[in-house]
Homo-oligomer: A and B are copies of this chain.
Amino acid sequence: MSKPVRVTVWNEFRHEKDSSHAASQIYPDGMHAPIAAWLRQQGMDVATATLDEPEHGLTQELLDKTDVLIWWGHLAHGEVCDEIVDRVQLRVLSGMGLVVLHSGHHSKIFRRLMGTTGHLKWREADERERIWVVEPGHPIAAGIDRFIELDRVEMYGERFDIPAPDTLVFISWFEGGNVFRSGCCWNRGRGRIFYFRPGHESFPHFHNEQILRVISNAVNWAVADNPGFDDVANERESLEPIGAKD
């Protein structure tokens, strides 16, 4: 029997504590709560961590036993310490998976790993989104029909400033006339990274079973096959004889 996947769900957890914000009604225990509950139902071993904990809850000890980290942040990206970003980046390069949700496109860790700004267009107009599957054979699309439909969303639109994904799994259609690369995979070092667009703090998308299904699929996909850090290694001895030069 294989060991359960160890996931850590990281959440900024600010909107939800503001009683005047819709998020406090939709996610009274934080957005990480329904995500964590869903992943536990799938048999995963789940921890949570939030911005205002010491070290943002992301101690080296916790990261070392995390197979996949989920990241949601929005208004306080700048408050995440660079030292913690360094630590998370090295763990990803060593094989820890990373699933970045929605407004996490502007997080320090996502920009660090991408090398780009993560900029995009956006609009809050309660519009419909249809998330089309373009790679139906990909494991992250397992159990999803031709598309997922969400009735009211914040729009994210192209141009999305990212490196071209290694695999593009989903493209979103928006009622207001835009499109977006909404499910993107990259490899960095030995780590796998997935960006998934839905998840605005003012909508209950993390209670939507199809959205949760994609997240658990992404976690399973992101578990490293062969973790390890590719260190500098001066290979002083040659593998073959080297001839004398004149």
Contact = CB atoms under 8 A, between A and B. Distances in A.
Contact of A137 (B172, B190, B237, B243): B190
A81 to B, nearest CB: 16
A225 B238 CA distance: 38
A123 interface: yes
B232 A119 contact: yes
Interface string A147-176: 000011001011111011011100111111
**How many copies of the polypeptide does the oligomer hold?**
4
Interface stretch (A34-42, A72-80, A180-188): A180-188
A132 interface: yes
Contacts of A243: 128, 175
A226 B136 contact: yes
A234 B123 contact: yes
A142 B225 contact: yes
A130 to B, nearest CB: 6
Contacts of A230: 117, 119, 136, 159, 161
A115 B113 contact: yes
A6 B7 CA distance: 32
B187 A171 contact: no
A179 B171 contact: yes
A163 B137 contact: no
Nearest to A186: B163
Interface residues on A, range: 35 or more
A54 interface: no
B139 A225 contact: yes
A245 interface: yes
A225 B89 CA distance: 29
B158 A226 contact: no
Interface of A: 89, 93, 95, 112-117, 119-123, 125-128, 130, 132-139, 141-142, 146, 151-152, 155, 157-161, 163-164, 166-168, 171-179, 181, 186-192, 224-228, 230-240, 242-243, 245
23 contacts: A120-B232, A121-B234, A123-B234, A127-B238, A130-B239, A132-B158, A133-B158, A134-B159, A135-B187, A137-B189, A137-B224, A137-B225, A137-B226, A138-B225, A142-B225, A142-B226, A151-B245, A159-B230, A163-B187, A166-B167, A171-B179, A173-B173, A176-B242
